[in-house]
Amino acid sequence: MRIVLLGAPGSGKGTQAARLKTRLDIPHISTGDLLRAAVTAGTALGLRAKAVMESGQLVSDDLVLGMLEERLAQEDARGGFILDGFPRNLAQAEALDELLTRINQPMDHALQLEVDPELLIERLASRAQAEGRADDTPETVRARQQVYQQQTAPVIEHYARRGGLKRVDGVGDLDEVYERLLAALGA
Ligand code: B4P
């Protein structure tokens, strides 16, 4: 099963993808996690990404696309995957369509987690306290929300136009949201 999980920062994509991965036995590929790992490892890519991530802006498409293509070429992604945090803008969505056509692996499901913007701010503020992630400061959270509205919301329309986008209510406890996602996937 090949799945794209869409939603604003704090909508629960990463949280739910971690659960779906175990149930569906396919890898959870988060471009945010891949980028944070590169920052921690101090690779050339990580050094270029760090300041951009801390400002709440998107890392450049060429860096993210190269990183994703490498990840999708790994053995464990042959039987399917959950993409979390990608695509983030229309150029990435079109590049993904092109890549999946080239490797003959069409997307099966596009799911959007819907959460009220005020609740998103509360969730990220709690994570800032719990985990101290550098991009969860109030200023960066505001910037990430703006980037989402301007650049990522059109990606949702892209999948809606193509048909097959499923919108899932992301408000509720973790188990409730998880059950809704499974129902939307028919799993
Ligand atoms: P991401 O890592 O994708 O960060 P995110 O949008 O905040 O989502 P995340 O998955 O971490 O959080 P979740 O909603 O699960 O991106 C970080 C940065 O990396 C970007 O700003 C950008 O700079 C860069 N980047 C990533 N991908 C890129 C790309 N493709 N192109 C360019 N740049 C890219 O959870 C948030 C919080 O809510 C958690 O604390 C969680 O516990 C809580 N939560 C979740 N579900 C809940 C629920 N039902 N109830 C209560 N709390 C809940």
pLDDT > 90? residue 163: no
DSSP for the chain?
-EEEEE--TTSSHHHHHHHHHHHHTS-EEEHHHHHHHHHHHT-HHHHHHHHHHHHTPPPPHHHHHHHHHHHHTSGGGTT-EEEES---SHHHHHHHHHHHHHTT----EEEEEE--HHHHHHHHHHHHHHH--TT-SHHHHHHHHHHIIIIIHHHHHHHHHHS-EEEEE--S-HHHHHHHHHHHHT-
pLDDT value for 105 = 87
Q: What's the pLDDT at 141?
A: 94
Q: Which two tokens stand for residue 97?
A: 């369509």
| Residue 164, pLDDT score | 84
pLDDT band, residue 158 (cuts 50/70/90): very high
pLDDT, position 84: 98
**For residue 103, what pLDDT is reported?**
85
User: What is the rounded average pLDDT of the residues 150-162?
Assistant: 95
pLDDT 10s digits, 36-77: 999 999 999 999 999 999 999 999 999 999 999 999 999 999
pLDDT digits (tens, 9 = 90+) for 89-122: 999 999 999 999 998 889 999 999 999 999 999 9
Say if ligand 1 is within 6 A of residue 27 CB.
no
Q: Which of 19, 127, 166, 167 is catalytic?
A: 127
- Testing ligand 1's pocket by substitution, the residue of 112, 123, 174 carrying the most ligand atoms inside 8 A of its CB is 123
Q: Across residues 21-28, what is the average pLDDT? A: 97
